[in-house]
Amino acid sequence: MQDAERRKLRHDTLGCLNSIKLCVEVITTTQDRDEILMFLDCITQETVKIETLMGNLIAECAEATPDTTATSS
Amino acid sequence: MQRVLIVDDHQEIRLIYSHLLRNAGYQVDCAINGREALAALDRNAPDLILLDVFMPIMNGAEFLEHLKQDPRHNALPVLLFSAVSDSPEVIYAMKLGVAQFIRKGDFGLNELLGIVQSTLLNNSGHMQNPSGNQTGSQYHH
Give tens-digit pLDDT for B5-20.
999 999 999 999 999 9
Mean pLDDT of B34-50: 96
Q: Tell whether ipTM is more than 0.90.
A: no
* Interface with B, mutate which of A14, A22, A32, A35 (most B CBs under 10 A): A22
For B41-87, the three-class secondary structure string (H helix, E strand, C coil) is: HHHCCCCEEEEECCCCCCCHHHHHHHHHHCCCCCCCCEEEEECCCCC
Closest approach of chain A CAs to the CA of B88, in angstroms? 9
Task: List the CATH code of the domain at B3-124.
Answer: 3.40.50.2300
Cβ–Cβ below 8 Å for B54 and A8: yes
Strands of the B48-52 sheet, one edge to the other: B27-31, B3-7, B48-52, B78-82, B100-103
pTM above 0.90, yes or no: no
Chain A residues close to B87, C-beta within 8 Å: 7, 11
